[in-house]
């Protein structure tokens, strides 16, 4: 019986649909033409101009600082929430707790951005990097909590009980047993929170203030005022950094295994 070629054709069509725009973006980042009307020769001029734009790198710095700080706090709050959800799963209040943790995952970003903006204005907090940080912690905590909670589903609590029976204190038990066992979930949740924070635009757009421009907002302004070659170069650099991080993480995981 002859095998159908339709699965192969559909798979290639989907891959082409997903990756062709990325390939075009990378190619156009080396195009000397400003308006991308056609190939006018290989050039690195847009990369040179990109490194001469201090506002872009200032926005990148803001994004990195916010993403790193929001990820650190989200890991602490999210892990604590996940442990509480797992440990007291049969409590009546856990339904409410789970709903509060899960809600930021399903609420539309535009609604969350408007709500946070109204809260900050009502409280009297000046919009800036601090409000962006608080907003990012709000939704990053939920992703960390769900990721760590999934890891806790396969966790054997008898290991903790055995450590306690052998005389280990809570500090030693958490440091030497609980955290190493939860490390894959913590790393996955941290990477997810960092990626979502550094990539967020909608919520950041509502809660940002003067002098607190992040990289997504800066890219939006560049598109609005017409700087596609610089955006292509910036996107290519971000892709290279992302692929390098993935390759390093895979190499580290293979070496550990």
Cα separations (Å) of 154 from 81, 88, 149, 190, 239? Answer: 17, 16, 9, 19, 34
Task: Return the number of other C-beta atoms located less than 10 Å from residue 32's C-beta.
Answer: 13
Given this model, what pLDDT does residue 14 score?
Answer: 92
Task: Quote the longest CA-to-CA distance of the chain.
Answer: 73
* pLDDT tens, N- to C-terminus, the chain (257 residues): 567 778 888 999 999 998 888 888 888 888 877 766 667 778 888 888 888 888 888 988 999 999 999 999 999 999 888 888 887 766 677 777 777 888 888 888 899 999 999 999 999 889 999 999 999 999 999 999 988 888 887 776 677 777 776 777 777 777 777 777 778 888 888 888 888 898 889 999 999 988 888 988 988 888 877 667 788 888 888 888 878 877 776 676 566 55
Cα separations (Å) of 195 from 12, 77, 93, 138, 189? Answer: 28, 18, 31, 15, 10
Domain ranges of the chain: 1-43+227-257, 51-208
CATH number of 51-208: 1.10.3720.10
Query: Across the strands, what pairs with 42?
Result: 31
pTM for this one? Answer: 0.80
CA 254 centroid distance within chain: 23
CA distance 49 to 249: 31
Query: Across the strands, what pairs with 31?
Result: 42
Closest CA to 49 of 32, 26, 25: 32
Given this model, what pLDDT does residue 36 score?
Answer: 60
**CB-CB contact of 59 with 198 (8 Å):** no
């Amino acid at each position: 019986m002859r095998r159908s070629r339709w699965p192969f054709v559909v798979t290639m069509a989907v891959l082409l649909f997903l990756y062709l725009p990325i390939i075009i973006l990378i190619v156009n980042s080396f195009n000397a033409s400003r308006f991308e009307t056609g190939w006018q020769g290989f050039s690195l001029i847009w990369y040179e101009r990109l490194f001469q734009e201090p506002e872009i790198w200032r926005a990148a710095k803001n994004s990195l600082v916010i993403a790193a700080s929001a990820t650190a706090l989200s890991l602490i709050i999210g892990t604590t929430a996940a442990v509480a959800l797992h440990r007291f799963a049969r409590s009546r209040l856990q339904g409410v707790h789970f709903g509060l943790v899960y809600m930021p995952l399903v609420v539309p970003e535009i609604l969350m951005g408007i709500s946070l903006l109204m809260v900050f204005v009502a409280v009297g907090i000046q919009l800036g990097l601090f409000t962006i940080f608080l907003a990012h912690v709000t939704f990053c905590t939920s992703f960390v909590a769900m990721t760590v909670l999934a890891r806790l589903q396969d966790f054997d609590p008898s290991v903790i009980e055995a450590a306690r029976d052998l005389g280990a204190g809570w500090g030693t038990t958490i440091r030497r047993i609980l955290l190493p066992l939860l490390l894959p979930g913590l790393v996955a949740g941290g990477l997810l929170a960092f990626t979502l924070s550094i990539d967020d635009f909608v919520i950041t757009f509502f809660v940002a203030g003067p002098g607190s421009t992040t990289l997504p907002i800066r890219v939006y302004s560049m598109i609005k005022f017409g700087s596609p070659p610089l955006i292509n170069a910036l996107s290519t650099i971000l892709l290279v950094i992302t692929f390098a991080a993935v390759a390093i993480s895979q190499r580290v995981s293979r070496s550990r295994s």
